[in-house]
Amino acid sequence: MSAYDDYAKEKQDIDALLDQGYTVTGMLETLDGAKVKFDGGEPGSGSVELMLLTADARKYVTTLVFAGLQKAQ
């Protein structure tokens, strides 16, 4: 699988969670990638952790977080 295919898969996973109403509530960068924690907007929906291995996917989710912070201000 190419690097772009890996990124596209991770981006699709992120977008699917966001479309379901989840929000990013935490990120932990490691040498292996980034663990991103998503919490559901509805009671009882719980949380999901997604491991992002590609640098482009990590940049994408960070951009979404900063865009959300800009909207909040």
Report the pLDDT value the prediction gives residue 18, as an integer from 0 to 100: 93
Q: Is residue 56 assigned to a domain?
A: yes
| Rounded distance between C-alpha atoms, residue 67 and residue 73, angstroms | 10
| Rounded distance between C-alpha atoms, residue 22 and residue 15, angstroms | 10
Q: Is residue 8 assigned to a domain?
A: yes
Taking the whole predicted model, whether its pTM rises above 0.95 is answered as no
Q: Is residue 19 assigned to a domain?
A: yes
* Digit-coded pLDDT (tens) for 9-34: 999 999 999 999 999 999 999 999 99
Q: Is residue 34 assigned to a domain?
A: yes
Question: Domain containing 45 — which CATH number?
Answer: 3.30.920
- Assign 73 a pLDDT band (cuts: 50, 70, 90): confident
Q: Is residue 58 assigned to a domain?
A: yes
Domain that holds residue 10: 3-66
Q: Is residue 23 assigned to a domain?
A: yes
Number of domains in the chain: 1
Report the pLDDT value the prediction gives residue 30, as an integer from 0 to 100: 93
Q: Is residue 71 assigned to a domain?
A: no
Report the pLDDT value the prediction gives residue 28, as an integer from 0 to 100: 96
* Digit-coded pLDDT (tens) for 39-55: 987 777 789 999 999 99
| Rounded distance between C-alpha atoms, residue 67 and residue 8, angstroms | 20
